[in-house]
C-alpha cells in the first residue's frame, strides 16, 4: 500500500521492483507516467473494465450535451404538465429555474469571463459553472435507484405473460423476496400501461438523459412501443448522437473481439464526433489500450482489493491511518 496516488510515489515504488515485465493499471495519467519513468521496458496494460465503463460514461455525457436537440426532436420544448406526476412537476419547475441560471452563466461565458469570475459573480461553485459551460446541465428529469431495479426482468416477464394488475404484480414479487411497497409496484404498472399507448402527447414527455442513453444502447426488442418511437425520432433528428452511439458499439466490439487493428481507425472516426474527448484520451494512451485488447493480463484482482480497501475505510468513517489499514487489509489476507 502506498500513501498517495502521486506519480513520484508510484515511480519510487516501481523503481525498487525492476523485475516487473508487465504493468497492469487503470488509465490514471500518473500511473502511466510513473511506469514509463521507472520501468521503460515494461509492457503497460490498461484495464479493460475501465475502458468499457469510460466509454459508456462518455456516451452519457454526449446525451446530456444533446438534450436541447432531443427536446426539439421529440417536439417537447415545452412539456405538457398534465402528463407529469406530482414529483415530476416539481422536477420540471426546478429545471426551469436552472435554465434561468444556465442562461446567465452562458451569457458571461460568451463574453469570455473566466469560470472562476463567473462563480464569484453569481455565487455558484466552479464545478457547477464548468458543467453548464460544457452543456452537462440540461436534463429535465433525474433518475435515482429504485427498489424495483433488480426485479425489472421479473416484472417484464409477468407483464408479457398477461398479468397487468399492479397489486397482483406486487404479491408475486413479494413471494420472490421483494421488500418494497405496494405503491412502487402499482406506479410501475401505471407507467408501463401508458407506455403501450403511442400518442403525440406521450412523446412530449422527454425521459432523463440516463434513461435515453440506456434505451439507445439496448436491443429494440426490449423497448415499449412508445420508447421505440421516441428513440427512432432521436436517431433520425439528432444524427450526431446516433453516430456517437454507433461508435460506442464499435469500441465495445473492438474490446470484445480483440480487434486491435481496428483501434486506430476508430480513434480517427471518433475524433470528429461527440466522443472526441474520449478518443483523445485513448490516443494518448494507445499503446496501453492496444495491450489491453490483445494481452491476457487483467487488473481485476487489483480492483477487487481496492474495493475491499474502500469498504474497510468506510467502516471506520474514512479516519483510518496507513498502519491500521495495512493491518486490516494486508494482515488479514
Mean pLDDT confidence for 305-326 = 83
Supply the range of the domain harboring residue 332.
Answer: 299-333
Residue 190 covered by a domain: yes
Same domain, 192 and 164: yes
Predicted pLDDT at 207: 78
Give residue 278's Cα distance to chain centre: 13
pLDDT for residue 202 is more than 70: no
Query: Within a domain: residue 109?
Result: yes
Q: What is the pLDDT of residue 93?
A: 75
pLDDT at res. 145: 55
Dist. CA 161–CA 169, nearest whole Å: 11
pLDDT at 22 over 50: yes
CA distance 299 to 218: 27
Co-location of 165 and 194 in the same domain: yes
Residues 155 and 191 in one domain: yes
Alpha carbon separation from 57 to 27, 61, 220, 277, 322 (Å, rounded): 14, 6, 21, 12, 32
pLDDT score, position 199: 47
**Residues in Cβ contact with 317 at an 8 Å cutoff, skipping those fewer than 6 apart:** none
Kindly tell me the sign of the dihedral angle through the C-alpha atoms of 47, 53, 57, 59.
Answer: positive
Report the range out of 58-72, 150-164, 233-247, 295-309 with the highest average pLDDT: 233-247
* End residue of a domain, out of 158, 178, 205: 205
Q: Evaluate whether residue 317 is within a structural domain.
A: yes
Query: Domain tally for the chain?
Result: 3
Residues in Cβ contact with 257 at an 8 Å cutoff, skipping those fewer than 6 apart: none
Domain final residue pick, 163, 182, 205: 205
The answer to whether residues 126 and 154 belong to one domain is no
Query: Residue 203 — very low, low, confident or very high, per pLDDT cuts 50/70/90?
Result: very low
Residue 259 lies in a domain: no
Flag whether 16 is in a domain.
no
- pTM for the whole thing? 0.63
Helix (H, G, I), strand (E, B) or coil at 323: helix
**From 132-146, 183-197, 301-315, the region with the lowest mean pLDDT:** 132-146
Choice between 95 and 265, residue whose per-residue pLDDT is larger: 265
Give start and end residues of each alpha helix (H) in 66-198. 67-74, 86-110, 115-122, 126-133, 152-160, 166-175, 182-195
What is the sign, positive or negative, of the torsion defined by CA atoms of 289, 293, 295, 301?
Answer: positive
**Other C-beta atoms within 10 Å of 330: how many?**
11
Examine residue 244 and state whether it is found in any structural domain, yes or no: no
Categorize the per-residue pLDDT at 250 as very low, low, confident or very high, splitting at 50, 70 and 90: very high
pLDDT in the model for residue 197: 60
- Select the highest-mean-pLDDT range: 71-85, 93-107, 170-184, 192-206: 170-184
Give the SS3 label for residue 22.
strand
- Could you tell me what percent of the chain has a pLDDT over 90? 28
Amino acid at each position: 500500500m502506498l500513501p498517495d496516488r502521486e506519480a513520484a510515489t508510484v515511480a519510487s515504488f516501481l523503481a525498487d521492483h525492476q523485475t516487473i515485465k508487465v504493468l497492469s493499471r487503470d488509465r490514471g495519467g500518473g500511473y502511466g507516467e510513473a511506469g514509463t519513468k521507472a520501468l521503460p521496458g515494461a509492457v503497460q496494460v490498461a484495464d479493460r473494465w475501465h475502458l468499457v465503463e469510460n466509454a459508456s460514461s462518455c456516451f452519457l455525457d454526449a446525451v446530456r450535451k444533446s438534450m436541447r436537440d432531443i427536446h426539439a426532436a421529440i417536439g417537447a420544448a415545452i412539456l405538457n404538465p398534465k402528463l407529469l406526476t406530482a414529483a415530476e412537476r416539481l422536477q420540471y419547475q426546478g429545471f426551469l429555474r436552472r435554465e434561468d441560471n444556465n442562461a446567465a452563466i452562458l451569457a458571461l461565458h460568451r463574453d469570455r469571463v473566466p469560470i472562476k469570475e463567473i462563480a464569484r459573480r453569481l455565487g455558484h461553485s466552479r464545478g457547477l459553472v464548468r458543467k453548464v459551460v460544457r452543456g452537462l446541465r440540461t436534463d429535465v428529469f433525474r433518475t435515482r435507484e429504485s427498489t424495483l431495479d433488480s426485479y425489472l426482468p421479473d416484472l417484464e416477464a409477468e407483464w408479457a405473460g398477461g398479468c397487468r394488475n399492479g397489486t397482483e404484480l406486487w404479491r408475486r414479487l413479494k413471494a420472490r423476496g421483494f421488500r418494497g411497497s405496494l405503491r412502487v409496484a402499482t406506479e410501475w404498472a401505471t407507467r408501463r400501461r401508458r407506455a403501450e399507448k403511442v400518442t403525440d402527447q406521450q412523446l412530449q414527455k422527454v425521459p432523463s438523459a440516463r434513461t435515453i442513453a440506456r434505451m439507445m444502447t439496448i436491443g429494440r426488442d426490449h423497448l415499449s412501443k412508445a420508447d421505440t418511437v421516441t428513440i427512432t425520432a432521436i436517431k433520425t433528428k439528432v444524427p450526431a448522437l446516433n453516430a456517437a452511439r454507433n461508435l460506442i458499439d464499435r469500441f465495445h466490439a473492438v474490446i470484445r473481439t480483440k480487434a486491435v487493428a481496428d483501434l486506430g481507425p476508430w480513434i480517427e472516426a471518433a475524433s470528429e464526433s461527440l466522443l472526441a474527448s474520449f478518443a483523445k484520451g485513448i490516443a494518448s494512451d494507445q499503446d496501453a489500450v492496444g495491450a489491453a485488447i490483445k494481452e491476457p493480463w487483467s487488473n481485476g484482482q487489483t480492483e477487487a482489493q481496492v474495493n475491499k480497501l474502500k469498504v474497510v475505510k468506510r467502516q471506520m468513517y474514512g479516519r483510518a491511518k496507513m498502519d491500521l489499514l495495512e493491518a486490516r487489509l494486508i494482515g488479514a489476507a
